[in-house]
Amino acid sequence: MARRGSRSSKRPYAAGHRPLDMGRLESLPRTQTGPGGAEFTVRRVRGGAKTYICPGCNQTIAAGTPHVVAWSNESLFGPERGLEERRHWHTSCWDRHLW
């Protein structure tokens, strides 16, 4: 059965096209080599309400600070376990391979 009613309100036909926000693309997960040469899923995040300890430098990542979240793709107990064991890194510590 066809839908009736108003059209999608995501972008009205008369509205101009919004430019692509390249900053949002950085947050897409990607695979990189990490500690021990293992493959990790890595995601850049804008920062949240919690503080974390960076495993690279053992210093605090303050709440609201953009950083990297990484988890192993090669966990012995499956990908869900790797995700549960994710770690929050300073972006510079991850990029400089401080593991």
More confident of the two residues 77 and 95? 95
Q: Where are the beta strands (DSSP E) in 7-51?
A: 30-33, 39-45
Would you kindly state where each structural domain of the chain is located, as residue ranges? 27-96
Write out the two tokens for 25. Answer: 């693309």
The whole-angstrom separation of Cα 88 and Cα 94 is 9
Percent of the residues in the chain that have a pLDDT greater than 70, as a whole number: 77
**Which of 17-31, 34-48, 57-71 is least confident?**
17-31
